[in-house]
Amino acid sequence: MNQETKSLPIIQIDLDDHNASGFDQTIIEVVDLTFSKLGIRVKETFYSSLAAEYKLSKENIPVMIEEFVEALEKIFGSSALLLEIDVMKTVRKKIPEFKFEAETSNLSFVSYLKSLKSFMEYS
């Protein structure tokens, strides 16, 4: 009797992706895209500085928003604003249905990211 060996499909589960929320994945991706525009060396140096000086990994950015923004502003000074704007532009392209209305006339990157998080959690 000739029996065919049936192979079962292999399913891979990436636990890092599985545990990350849509917001987490989006922020990590958008921040990475922004820093990729500055070149691989700048991006790698930035992530190294975050880890060494601020004990903040790339994966922790979405859960440590205030610390990330503070580190970004300390590392890049007034130029951090340009990077924050680029992140917001990239979010706008990626999630066009997200609309942010600042509660005050002073736009806060932290409040923008928190608003995005709320939007993504309840959409």
d(Cα 44, Cα 71) in Å, to the nearest integer? Answer: 15
- Six-digit token string for 72: 């970004």
Q: Is the dihedral of CA 107, 113, 118, 123 positive or negative?
A: positive
Asked if residue 71 lies in contact with residue 54, where contact means CB atoms within 8 angstroms, the answer is yes
pLDDT of residue 68: 97
- Six-digit token string for 7: 């192979």
pLDDT of residue 109: 93
pTM of the model: 0.78
Would you say residue 3 has pLDDT above 80?
no
Asked if residue 61 lies in contact with residue 28, where contact means CB atoms within 8 angstroms, the answer is yes
pLDDT in tens, 44-54: 999 999 999 99
Q: What is the mean pLDDT of residues 56-73?
A: 95
How many other CB atoms sit within 10 Å of the CB of residue 14? 8
d(Cα 114, Cα 122) in Å, to the nearest integer? Answer: 12
pLDDT of residue 106: 77
CATH architecture for segment(s) 21-122: Orthogonal Bundle (1.10)
| Ramachandran region, residue 5 (left: φ > 0; alpha: ψ -120 to 50; beta: rest) | beta
Q: Can you give the residue ranges of every domain in the chain? A: 21-122
Asked if residue 80 lies in contact with residue 31, where contact means CB atoms within 8 angstroms, the answer is no
